[in-house]
Structure 1
């Protein structure tokens, strides 16, 4: 029972983190686009919308367990991309907070990789996916 509870709490934490990120994007899409543009990316408004939609898809995967391992791997790649794109080494000089944000992304990646390998657990999971399959 403790293992199941821990897995479900972890899934809720993953879902909550991406739900908050998506909510902030939807609430301030222009601000998000401005942040993306400031980092030098083209088509910032399109990228902001794609990021928000992607984060909603991650939330659904973490809550349902459908394609859980795939979602965790994609989320890990996304998190590391964000670390380098928005908190990378070019932002560290004179700003240790940015370095802290950068490192935090790797701790999040560690959890996502662990989740990808171990799957969504046996409770409250659809068992759908290409990598992880619930054993019967």
Structure 2
């Protein structure tokens, strides 16, 4: 029972992080677009909306357990992309805190990989295309 509780708490935390990230994007899409453009990406407005809906989809998958393994792997790939795109080595010289932000993404990746391998445990709607 302890294992199941730990897993559901982790799922809640994972999903809350993505719900929050999407919520901030939806709350100020202009600021999100500006931040994306500052990293050199074209079509920043479009990408901001894509990111917000993608994060909502990840949050829903992680909390419900639907396509949990796939969502965990996609989320892991996404956070590594975010680490390099927005907190990568080119930003460390101007702001050393960026290195900390960069490293934090890999801690998140570790948890997501662990989740992908171990699955959603109890209290999940189990649908998956991939079995690890």
Same fold (TM over 0.5): yes
Q: Which residue of 2 aligns with 1:70?
A: 70
TM-score norm. by structure 1 comes to 0.95
Query: 86-95 or 24-33, which moves further after superposition?
Result: 86-95
Cα shift at 1:25: 0.1
1:90 paired to 2:90: yes
Could you tell me which residue of structure 2 aligns to residue 128 of structure 1?
127
Checking the alignment, whether the CA contact within 8 Å between 1:119 and 1:132 is kept in structure 2 is no
Give ranges in structure 1 of 5+ residues lacking alignment.
Answer: none
Counterpart residue number, 1:57: 57
Instruction: Report the Cα distance in structure 2 between the residues aligned to 1:74 and 1:87, rounded to whole angstroms.
Output: 19
Structure 1 residue 61: deviation in Å? 0.3
Moved over 4 A (4+): none
1:111 and 1:11 map into 2 onto residues whose CA distance is 10
CA distance in 2, matches of 1:132, 1:11: 18
- State the SS of the aligned residue for 2:50: helix
- 1:84–1:102 Cα contact (<8 Å) kept: yes
- Report which stretch shifted further, 88-97 or 41-50: 88-97
Shift of 1:126: 1.2
Deviations 1:6-41 (A, max 9, x none): 000000000000000000000000000000001000
Structure 2 length normalisation: TM-score?
0.97
Does residue 1:29 correspond to 2:29, yes or no? yes
Alignment root-mean-square deviation, CA: 1.0
Unaligned stretches of 5+ in structure 2?
A: none
